[in-house]
Amino acid sequence: MKKEWIWFIGLSLCIILIIPWSVLRWQKESMIMDDVEIRVLMPNGSVVKLPLEEYLLGVVAAEMPAEFEVEALKAQAIAARTYTAKRLSQSNLPDGRYDVDTTVQTQAWLSDKQMRDKWGWLNYWKYRGKLNTAVTGTRSMVLVANGDYIEAVYHSSSGRKSTERSEEVWSSSRSYLQNVSSGEDNLQRYVKSISFTPQELYKKLEITASSPSLTSGDFQVLVRTSVGRAKSVRVLGKVYPATQLRTLLGLSSTDIEWVVQPERLIITTYGNGHAVGMSQWGANDLAKKNLKVDEILNHYYPGTKLMALGYQGNSR
């Protein structure tokens, strides 16, 4: 009887471990067949070639919570594929050795091991299959405007304001990157306060002169975007683009409120990211309202069309 139990437990383990692995392998092999190869710069400095759809699975895993609705994940997959296609179509990339890296400088990306570490073994099978559905369900689909791949930028949360026009953040205008409603139900999802002493502020801004206290004139928003985010800010007598100041001070967004006290500057931010293009949390909230992927993308990238990726023109 004891031997029978041992045999039963062993067989159960085989079913639990081997069958899901076989299914995953089959899914992976069927997904990457006849695919475009992407040259990815890995953290260790090596460049690895990955099939496009396999690469996109790692991007969606890194860029959007796997708990999100499938239609939102599909929107993320198409945006990421379009971004990659745009990169591949450009001949003037900074480093000709690779097309993308694994950081937010291009698009964040996770390996299978990193997915397992992030989700744990049980959730790995669940979430990877879900992301695979989003990627394969949109295979080869990209966003196009005026005969070219769009710059399908996205961000975590627009917060309490609409999305931004691209020219008010990066100076260049794009007809499909306009002010649209965030699509988010919880406008207070990302609210964060951060404080700086005078010494910390001078150090972060790399200003050699210093003062033991702050005055109200040491922090002022000079220009705002059309929806009310900071565009130009004067700090300690120097004028900064809000996007640059966001990086220097480690702010979550440029939708800010502030309080200046003699001993500290307190800045409160609303939202998370540059606020241009698709709000990922907004996409998820729209998906919960039963909007399909094409409707979600049309909301954030008005005037664009879903087209099939031209493989032959982009393969390397």
Question: CB-based burial of residue 145 (10 Å sphere; 0-12 exposed, 13-18 middle, 19+ buried)?
Answer: middle
Phi, psi angle pair for 5, to nearest 5°: -65, -40
- With bands split at pLDDT 50, 70 and 90, how would you rate the model's confidence at 1? low
- With bands split at pLDDT 50, 70 and 90, how would you rate the model's confidence at 26? very low
Q: How far apart are the C-alpha atoms of 140 and 144, rounded to whole Å?
A: 12
Q: In what order do the strands lie in the sheet with 148-149?
A: 148-149, 141-145, 305-308
* pLDDT, the chain, mean: 89
Judged against a pLDDT cut of 70, whether residue 12 lies above it is answered with no
Judged against a pLDDT cut of 50, whether residue 259 lies above it is answered with yes
Q: What pLDDT sits at residue 312?
A: 37
Question: CB-based burial of residue 208 (10 Å sphere; 0-12 exposed, 13-18 middle, 19+ buried)?
Answer: exposed
More confidently predicted of 91 and 85: 85
Q: What pLDDT sits at residue 74?
A: 98
- With bands split at pLDDT 50, 70 and 90, how would you rate the model's confidence at 5? low
Q: Could you report the per-residue pLDDT of 213-235, keeping only the tens digit for each?
A: 999 999 999 999 999 999 999 99
- With bands split at pLDDT 50, 70 and 90, how would you rate the model's confidence at 38? very high
User: Who's near 19: CB < 8 A, 6+ residues apart?
Assistant: none
Q: In what order do the strands lie in the sheet with 264-270?
A: 191-196, 264-270, 256-261
Are 36 and 311 contacting, i.e. CB atoms less than 8 angstroms apart? yes
Find the distance separating the first CA and the last CA of the chain, reported in whole Å.
60
Are 79 and 278 contacting, i.e. CB atoms less than 8 angstroms apart? yes
Q: Could you report the per-residue pLDDT of 113-140, keeping only the tens digit for each?
A: 999 999 999 999 999 999 999 999 999 9
Judged against a pLDDT cut of 50, whether residue 65 lies above it is answered with yes
- Tell me if the pTM is above 0.75: yes
